[in-house]
């Protein structure tokens, strides 16, 4: 059965009452969520107060909205089921002849845990297939985006950061400041944290060094050598503490260094191959675990006190079923989070909590737990789809408040026909105990793209929780990777970035 026939079949089931089994599910012992297909109102955002449907019925679309084909940046459509406005941000002409237009994503690294948009929602970046960052200005009233400094860079239709080693990170407190790591990718030297000031509307910024890890022997030992791969820089919400991980020997999966820098106290580091901790503050010495391992990626908590280190592979020992480690930065203590602790699936950090979907690849629950006690778990969502393979979701919680009580956002992809609620959707999961799942839009991702972000519909929420941007091939309707108007799914379909207003 092809995808369109499958959608029509599911829609027919819903009309005949076949969806009633989903509508009758209960949320962790609470009354079932109301079925609200049509919206009666629009909500004004004051904290994450959403008006999107919280119903449990599948919402298959029978026709993909036309959003311009090969070209269409600036076009806006309404999700056919949920009613929220979706703007197209990129297309074949985004970088003109001087760039690469076959594939755009929100994150250069494929992570959903980056802050892609500035405070005030007036600027953001997207990444092209070559990992360059394209800068945009944004009009929230019309949901239109424009390339920044276009007249200064006519060959690429605007300003691009091409010296970045990973995704950038907008400051949570300064509207015009973007942070980036500008070494790695087989460039010499250890990481250098840089910043860009976009306060001028006419003059493109030059990168300014915020902190050079290689200049401080108390941070990264001089024997570290050259950086080959580096993770995204992540920053605490008070704009005081920064963290990244990097490799001296190869690409992602070979890293052994985690570094943290605080504006007041300085640098601190962890070497996961030797188990040694050092730096300018906090205790030096050996970690409490015998585990020695390679790093997949790392993220700092929003309060700046923890680093989540995702496990790649074992060097020696290593806990059974290990998924990630939590490093309390001002100590030598690492906590191993394993399958026995329900740490499967993707995850996201708040200030003092972690959320994850522990039943990868057939997630049926969402959990939240304090970083200080990983076994103190609360189930946020108990009525997910039945065993349903493939199904995957990536969480983004850049909008989190200090109490970790705001919903986190998630984009899902199945790679098959929509069968259940939450398939191929952008949803918000409540952390306040209500059990609500807010449904904002379909991802329109075929799940067949050759590009990672598009294949997995990777996206991120803005820091104020008003917008969510993601990458999609729009079911193969955006033209080919070589500029043709049509493409073959699973072969040569290009991808773009889209943004939905979260109401």
Q: How many structural domains does the chain have? A: 1
What are the tens digits of pLDDT across the range 312-356?
A: 999 999 999 999 999 999 999 999 999 999 999 899 999 999 999
If one counts every other C-beta atom within 10 angstroms of the C-beta of residue 41, the result is: 7
Extended beta strands in 17-94, E state: 76-78, 85-88
Q: Answer whether residue 41 shows pLDDT above 50.
A: no
Averaged over 244-260, what is the pLDDT? 89
Task: Output the pLDDT for position 362.
Answer: 52
Give the pLDDT band of residue 45 (cuts 50, 70, 90).
Answer: very low
Q: For the chain, how long is the longest CA-to-CA vector?
A: 70
pLDDT category at 15 given cuts 50, 70, 90 is very low
In a domain, 26, yes or no: no
Rounded Cα distance, 319 and 290, in Å: 9
Mean pLDDT value of segment 119-130: 96
Query: Is the confidence at residue 23, as pLDDT, over 70?
Result: no
Structure confidence by residue, pLDDT tens digits, 409-435: 999 888 777 877 888 999 999 998 888
Q: Is residue 268 part of a domain?
A: yes
| CATH assignment at residue 168 | 2.130.10.10
Rounded distance between C-alpha atoms, residue 458 and residue 449, angstroms = 12
Cα–Cα distance measured from residue 153 to residue 150, given in angstroms and rounded to the nearest whole number: 5
Can you tell me the distance from the alpha carbon of 50 to that of 41, in angstroms, rounded to the nearest whole number?
Answer: 10
In the prediction, which pLDDT does 51 show?
72
DSSP at 70: T
Give per-residue pLDDT as tens, 429-483. 999 888 888 889 999 999 999 999 999 999 999 999 999 999 999 999 999 999 9
In a domain, 489, yes or no: yes
pLDDT cut 90: percent of the chain above it: 68
The string of pLDDT tens digits covering residues 145-194 is: 999 999 999 999 999 999 887 899 999 999 999 999 887 444 456 788 99
Supply the range of the domain harboring residue 136. 69-501
Q: Of 395, 485, 495, 387, whose CA–CA distance to 447 is shortest?
A: 495
Ordered DSSP codes for 331-346 = SS-EEEEEGGGT--S-
Cα(70)–Cα(500) distance, integer angstroms = 20
Q: Which two tokens stand for residue 324?
A: 């990630």
CA pair distance 461, 115, nearest whole angstrom: 8
Average pLDDT, the chain: 86
pLDDT of residue 7 exceeding 60, the answer is: no
Model confidence at 49, pLDDT cuts 50, 70, 90, reads low
Asked if residue 13 belongs to a domain, the reply is no
Residue 23 falls within a domain, yes or no? no
Write out pLDDT tens, residues 97-123: 999 999 999 999 999 999 999 999 999
Per-residue pLDDT band for 386 (boundaries 50, 70, 90) equals low
* Percent of the chain residues topping a pLDDT of 70: 85
In a domain, 278, yes or no: yes
Q: Quick one: pLDDT at residue 422? A: 82
Is 75 a member of any domain?
yes
Following DSSP, what letter does each residue of 373-413 receive, concatenated?
A: -TT--EEEE----SS-SSBEEEEE-TT--TTS-S-EEEEEE
Assess if residue 414 is contained within a domain. Answer: yes
Q: Does residue 19 have a pLDDT over 70?
A: no
Enter the pTM of the model.
0.89
Angle at 429 between CA 425 and CA 434, to 5 degrees: 135
Contact between residue 61 and residue 11 where contact means Cβ atoms under 8 Å apart: no
**All residues at 6 or more sequence positions from 61 whose CB lies less than 8 Å from its CB, including other chains:** 7, 80, 81, 418, 442, 444
């Amino acid at each position: 059965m092809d995808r369109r026939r499958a959608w029509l079949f599911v829609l027919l089931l819903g009309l005949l009452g076949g969806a009633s089994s989903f509508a009758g599910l209960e949320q962790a012992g609470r009354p079932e969520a109301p079925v609200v297909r049509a919206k009666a109102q629009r909500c004004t955002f004051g904290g994450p107060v959403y008006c999107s449907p919280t119903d449990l019925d599948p919402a298959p679309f029978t026709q993909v909205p036309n959003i311009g084909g090969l070209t269409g940046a600036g076009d806006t459509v309404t999700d056919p089921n949920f009613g929220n406005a979706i703007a197209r941000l990129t297309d074949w002409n985004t970088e003109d002849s001087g760039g690469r237009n076959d594939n755009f994503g929100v994150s250069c690294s494929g992570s959903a845990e980056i802050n892609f948009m500035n405070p005030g929602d007036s600027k953001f970046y997207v990444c092209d297939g070559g990992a360059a960052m394209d800068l945009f200005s944004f009009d929230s009233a019309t949901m239109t985006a424009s390339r920044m400094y276009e007249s200064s860079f006519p060959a690429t239709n605007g300003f691009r950061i091409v010296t970045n080693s990973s995704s950038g990170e907008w400051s949570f407190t300064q509207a015009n400041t973007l942070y980036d790591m500008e070494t790695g990718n087989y460039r010499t030297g250890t990481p250098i944290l840089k910043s860009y000031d976009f306060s001028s509307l006419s003059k493109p910024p030059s990168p300014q060094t915020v902190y050079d890890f290689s200049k401080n022997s108390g941070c990264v030992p001089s024997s570290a050598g050259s950086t080959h791969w580096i993770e995204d820089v992540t920053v605490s919400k008070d704009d005081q503490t920064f963290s990244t991980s990097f490799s001296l020997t190869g690409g992602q999966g070979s890293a052994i260094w985690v570094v943290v820098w605080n504006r007041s106290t300085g640098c601190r580091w962890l070497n996961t191959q030797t188990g040694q901790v050092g730096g300018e503050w906090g205790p030096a010495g050996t970690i409490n675990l015998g585990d020695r391992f390679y790093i997949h990626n790392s993220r700092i908590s929003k309060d700046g006190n923890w680093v989540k280190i995702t496990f790649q592979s074992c060097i020696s020992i290593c806990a059974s079923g290990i998924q990630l480690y939590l490093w309390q930065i001002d100590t030598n203590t690492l906590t191993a989070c394993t399958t026995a602790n329900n740490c499967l699936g993707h995850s996201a950090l708040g200030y003092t909590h972690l959320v994850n979907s522990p039943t990868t690849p057939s997630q049926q629950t969402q959990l939240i737990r304090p970083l200080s006690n990983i076994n103190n778990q609360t189930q946020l969502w108990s009525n997910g789809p039945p065993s349903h393979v493939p199904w995957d979701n990536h969480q983004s919680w850049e909008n989190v408040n200090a109490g970790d009580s705001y919903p986190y956002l998630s984009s899902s992809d199945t790679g098959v026909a929509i069968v259940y609620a939450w398939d191929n959707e952008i949803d918000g999961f409540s952390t306040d105990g209500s059990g609500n799942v807010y449904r904002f839009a379909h991802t329109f991702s075929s799940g067949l793209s050759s590009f990672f972000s598009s294949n997995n519909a990777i996206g991120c929420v803005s820091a104020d929780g008003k917008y969510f941007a993601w990458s999609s091939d729009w079911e193969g309707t955006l033209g080919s990777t070589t500029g043709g108007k049509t493409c073959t799914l699973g072969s040569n379909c290009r991808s773009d970035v889209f943004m939905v207003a979260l109401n």
